[in-house]
Structure 1
Amino acid sequence: MNQLSPAKRILLVFNSATGQPGRVGDVMRRYGYTFDIRRPGEGDVLPHDLDGYHLVVVFGGPMSANEDDLGNVSAIMDWLPKVVASDVMYLGICLGAQMMARHLGASVAPHPDGLTEIGYYRVQATEAGRDLFPDNMMVYHWHSEGFGLPDGAELMATGPTFPHQAYHIDGRIWGIQFHPEVDDESHERWLSGAGDKTDRPNGQGPEEQRAGRAKYDADFGAWFERFAAKVLVSDRAPMRAGCGD
């Protein structure tokens, strides 16, 4: 779906001091990629020249994409034009998808009825997304805002509460509302650090989330493996676990 850059580096941009690449990192390491990790909220500078990267991944965070008074939000929003103007692939996860949508002119806003998605919820493929998304898939969410669809974007997955769940532009810029990076360690860390926020409207409590993880995570992880192979790494063959750094 994309022409693979010869670069083997991936730029990972985190909106929190403690964010980790989790499953996304595990999968991409097996394809031999190395990581350059930046945390603009902690003072890291985002690179002006993206020629040396195959992929940029901007992860989620507890803030809103509209909070320009926050250092990480303003730094990333000011930097996204460089990403769009480059040839690098982009994957925005939750807040990262919302930031890119906002940069491209779409709105980012709470649900009109105040609903959230915190836990495991069903998404469905659109007609355009059937090659990449199952007809029904349970995915892990943690968000109270959603993104509009930017001009020129193709909607790939939808859901009953937040209708815009995944989009792409020209097969190069991707945004997904859910969190494929969340593994067992990060899930427990999120519940430990913010479990008191799960009682928001339509949210799932910690025990319901753990039950959902036991039931749905294997299929969700297998989906991301397929998505990475088809979209993020194209024809690069996976390496054995432990190879790459």
Structure 2
Amino acid sequence: MSRITILPQYQTLEQEPKVIRLNHPHGFEAQFIITDRGLLQHQSFKNELSSFVVGNTIIENGDLNVATPYDPLYLMIPVLMKSNDRFCTLEDILHEQGELAELSKLPNFEERLKIICDQQHFFRISNDKLLEWLLTKVDKLIGKMPEMGILGTFVSPEAGDLEKKEFAYNVLADNLNAEVSKKLFSRLGLQELKENQPNYYQEVIKKKAIDEIERPAKKPKVATRKPIANTSRNLKIDSFFKKVAKPA
């Protein structure tokens, strides 16, 4: 059965991609694709009442499949945290982790681990490096807000730095477990935002609620009896199908 899948604009892959299932940092099982260009997360959006037209072909399956680049370090954080600050070899870390070991086939995977780990032929997660890496991602996302259309859509154009950090935090938190999310929240100083500044989204919701309260109530419609139509002049349906006289 044919399916529609949206992929990154990669050049021709040298190796056959491999589909694997791994535990997402939030605990549910997710589908990923190993390629020689990096890791992709595969997501499927179900739509039973639609189909696609591609060229002259109709694809009956209306599901939309999307494969987007995914940083494998998000998947490694929960595993590394189980090592309890011990230095471990990569083989020990991935031992008995099922298909997670497939991540070691990704290009520059060990070099990438050094971003969030202390490394001396062994690996140990570093909270300082981990938070610095996450802060870098926060800064990149904030820097790209204008060109991504986030300002004015999801974040007020007048929002301050903390509001922008809060939005970036919420995006990253979707890929972090609760412990790391809490550390990042604190490091970004978002507690200060919660305590001292009104939340932009809450203000929007509050304003809408006030508008609903102050809006004058609609007058209830009173049922009225419609006059009975005079059907005596209506044509019967038989009158539309008159017999045509045959020529003599």
Short-chain TM bin: under 0.3
Query: What TM-score do you get using the length of structure 1 for normalisation?
Result: 0.24
Query: What TM-score do you get using the length of structure 2 for normalisation?
Result: 0.23
* Structure that is richer in strand per residue: 1
Taking CA–CA contacts closer than 8 Å with sequence separation of 6 or more, which of the two structures ends up with the larger relative contact order?
1
* Structure that is richer in helix per residue: 2
